[in-house]
Structure 1
Amino acid sequence: MSHQFRYDSDEQDTVAVKVRSDSTDRISRCLQIQRIAADAGFPCARPLTGADLLEPGLVISAETWLPGGEMHTGGEVSFADRSAKLLAELMEILQSQSPTGLGAPPPWMHWNPPTGGLWPPNPVVDALDQDLVPEHVHAIARTVSQRLAQGRLPLVVGHGDWESQNLRWQEGLPWAVHDWDSLVALPEATIVGAASGAFASTAIPTLATIESSEKFIDSYQQARGRQFSQEEREAVWAASLWPALHNARGESLFQSPPVALDALMWQAPERLRRAGVP
């Protein structure tokens, strides 16, 4: 979603320069929140500049160069605890931050677009043959969207792309969390829910097992020192499906291997049951 360049600076040593299609206002807010996390000791790069326009529609910024660490690619259940506790640590740091200024969430978290359509607008994706998407994917997406639209939970700030491919570890300890352009303003339960379904995704995104998602959710609550309400628990499980639905649609449209698509077929009924859908 962005281009990143290594730049050897006389003033700042080595820095990372990021260029992406976005608005300066939204990226400025993301950088502000990222800087707050870095100042609190959270493992992430520290922004060194604000957001500027490189050219119309292209936003540029710079941050500290933070290479290294390893991406976890092993078992899901054992990793769920570590990943959930790290997310809980971040949410604790950001809990006092206003959710304003972040705009619409990315499409893999955007289950209620203001257009009233099922999927958020995307000219490239929308131009493809939508008949390639199985009807049951649309049906599950409609159910999830309607279920999440019923909620009245407060918005908070959180990371909206909590996949293993965005986390790096050293000897089991967190080394770096990347992709701060994917910050979102959504209810805490839905941020945790989406993460519980997507946390194990690496190069090929998929849907975690139900056992792993359950472990992730339990570990998060334990780390935060509170239990979700009934409404939050149902929102968690509903949101756990959306990133996989987004990916399954993409697999169908681009005729990629049906990784998320197959996982949805087996898991959607139980996840929807836990979401309180009859």
Structure 2
Amino acid sequence: MHAHLSPAGPRGRDRRPTPGGDAGTPARPTPGGDAARTSARPTPGGDAGTPARPTHRLAGPLALALPALLVACTADRPAAPPPPTPTPAAAGMDAARDELAALAAAAQDRRLVANYTLRAPDAPDRTVVVTSANDGTWRVDIPGGALGGTADVSFAATTDGLYQCALPSAARPEPPSCVRLGDPDDAVPRRLDPRVQHPFTDWLDVLTDRRAPLAVSPAQPPPGASGTCYSVETTSASINAPLDVGIYCYDRDGTPTAVRTAAGTLILAGTPAPAPATVQLAGPVVDREPLGTAAPEPADSASAATP
């Protein structure tokens, strides 16, 4: 028996069976094979014959354009305005308001008996007596404060109420008598109000109230007056202003030294005296009509003079 040997060479190696395969199956191409097959391999999601697009061609233009877009957006945005700077005049008015409020608060606690010279147009000088007692009651005597300047009156607030008292005078020599007007904190009716007592009483509450519609600025004292003075204006258009505009002056301890309003000019005369424990009414309380500020008609003069 003769053995047949296969000829050696490439043909014999190509027909050698691969592990687990058929003897006649050609061998698979190894990596790094034909270049044409590699270039023809389809990209994910693309056509088999379309080569992959290089991404670095878009990255360059975008990197150059993005800063320009950001600069353009920033340039179009308006700049925030700077915060307003308070003017020196406004700051000075605020300081004056604080100073006046502090002095008025000290005046509320000031207890004294003081004389003031009242100067008004077309009238002789008069002496107004202000009493602020230790218990918080007060009394202000006003010569010529009623009946067109022909009658002297006194306004007083005690623990029992608010009173107007008629004082003896040359034009009205009757004994003093008083009429109750209301509770201690009530306002004096306008037809009876000479407006001289307010700077020592209820207007002090307005001057200490920072919510009151007031404009305050430093001012020079009226002639013959002393103390620290302030010009006070109202910023409200209401006809019922909280106080009369004018000049208000105070000593460092809160003593009112001068007031100038439409009613006249009050100037402190002399050194205040110590305050009493409480105020006393000028006369007994009677049942009659109070005295108004307007001058009476000739026919009413006799009846007004009767207590």
TM-score tier (shorter): under 0.3
Alignment TM-score, normalising by the size of structure 1: 0.23
Query: TM-score, normalized by length of structure 2?
Result: 0.21
Higher strand share: 2
Bigger Rg, structure 1 or 2? 2
